[in-house]
Amino acid sequence: MAWVTGAFRGEKDLDYIRAAKERRLALDINDPQPVANSQDLWQSAGRAATIGIFLLLVGAVLYIGRAILLPIFAAAVVAMTLAPAVRFAQKRGISPWITALAIVACALAVLGLGAVAMAGPVSEWIARAPEIGATIKERLSVLDAPLAALRELERSFFGSNSGNSAPPNIVFPAVAFVTPAAGELLVFFGAMIFFLVGQGALRSQFIAMFSVRESKLRALKILNDIEHNLTGYLTVVTMINAALGVIVAIGAWLLGFPSPVIFGVVAAVLNYLPYVGPAVMVVALFGVGLITFPSLGHALIAPLAFVTLTTTEGHFITPTIVGRRLTLNPLLVFLALAFWAWMWGPIGAFLAVPISIIGLVVANHLFPTAEGHLPE
């Protein structure tokens, strides 16, 4: 009898231990409730799956049709930004064709001048490539030990590569990039002319697609807000970037950089790319500084000054000038930049912020909130 009682107590102890272990491993669930209607749940899941499939198909179309969709969409964004200028000229008796051709001619002239200005320094740097490589290697000799440790770590994980790799050839990649880029540039300027000239007819046709008066008014408000926000944002950012380019050019001249005007122009253009553009400019300033100046410390002056300048501009000057209405969420800008750069390359990165503005305007019209609209 004692043996049975002891066995029973032993089983109770085991049950208690198991129950305590299950309590430790159990999730902390607060007020669980069963699903009221499983059919509604599956219908919601089906709608979400349909939307997901649609978004995947849209992404695939955008990626596959990049060669034709990228210049057309870029032309549409630029045309919407410049539409007020075309209408302003039209009210004063100037034909939209003349205004559109003048805008395209000015853009081509700027591109031509930029190409001519860049041709000399780029040709010189390419001719001095071996010397530049040796100079950079000498100035960065302090990093030989860390780089050797990284190579040793790479060999430990991935094995050694005993084959002799051929030196990189930049001619064929450059030709492969320039050839389709020339065609895309032609499509861009051609589409921009027709967008600028026929913007009124396109707007009327788009609004006429809706049969209900409220829908027509909503579409008209969306188009007006997109145009207003794009024009306001890009105008302010262009003025800020131009001022930044002037400051960088003056600073490069004072520090003794070669071709300081080119550095100013490149800094102004790259500043349209949030985060990525300033980072590329810092690397460029550091690389040219290594070649131009005798010491590593001297070469770091320009990159550090540029980081200070862009940090001040991005966190204090630009938000103060554009105000809260034109300030975009930094996380949204970063995600849009990463997505469109992956989808459409460098030009997609330039279009990331305008596309975000268009999307936000449409979303705020279709799903209004009590907090107001961005931007106005």
The answer to whether residue 116 sits within a structural domain is yes
Residue with tokens 């300081």: 260
- Average pLDDT of every residue of the chain: 77
Under a CB-based contact definition with an 8 Å cutoff, are residues 280 and 264 in contact?
no
The answer to whether residue 308 sits within a structural domain is no
Greatest mean pLDDT range, 24-28, 262-266, 310-314: 262-266
d(CA 69, CA 344): 10
Q: What is the pTM of this model?
A: 0.72
Coil, helix or strand at residue 294:
coil
Provide the domain count of the chain.
1
CA angle 237, 242, 245 (to 5 degrees): 125
The answer to whether residue 69 sits within a structural domain is yes
The answer to whether residue 128 sits within a structural domain is yes
Predicted pLDDT at 176: 46
Quote the tokens at residue 371.
């907090």
Predicted pLDDT at 367: 81
d(CA 94, CA 91): 7
Quote the tokens at residue 91.
């009210």
pLDDT > 70? residue 112:
yes
d(CA 37, CA 296): 69
Under a CB-based contact definition with an 8 Å cutoff, are residues 127 and 271 in contact?
no
Q: DSSP labels for 287-312? A: HHHHHHSSSHHHHTHHHHHHHHHHHH
Predicted pLDDT at 198: 84
Residues 6+ apart with CB under 8 A from 185: 71
Long-range contacts of 150-155 (CB under 8 A, 24+ apart): none
Range of the domain at 205: 65-139+183-209
**What is the number of residues in the chain?**
376
Q: State pLDDT tens for residues 263-307.
A: 888 888 888 888 888 888 888 888 888 777 777 778 888 889 888
The answer to whether residue 11 sits within a structural domain is no
Under a CB-based contact definition with an 8 Å cutoff, are residues 243 and 316 in contact?
no
The answer to whether residue 358 sits within a structural domain is no
The answer to whether residue 125 sits within a structural domain is yes
The closest of 251, 304, 234, 291 to 74, measured between CA atoms, is 234
The answer to whether residue 250 sits within a structural domain is no
Predicted pLDDT at 174: 45
Among 179-188, 214-223, 307-316, name the one with the lowest average pLDDT.
179-188
Predicted confidence band of residue 162 (pLDDT cuts 50, 70, 90): very low
Q: What is the mean pLDDT of residues 63-86?
A: 88
Q: What is the mean pLDDT of residues 133-156?
A: 65
Predicted pLDDT at 145: 63
Alpha-helix runs per DSSP H in 209-329: 213-255, 260-270, 276-292, 296-299, 301-312, 318-322
Residues 6+ apart with CB under 8 A from 284: 263, 266
Residue with tokens 């964004």: 77
Residue with tokens 């027709």: 194
The more confidently predicted of residues 11 and 194 is: 194
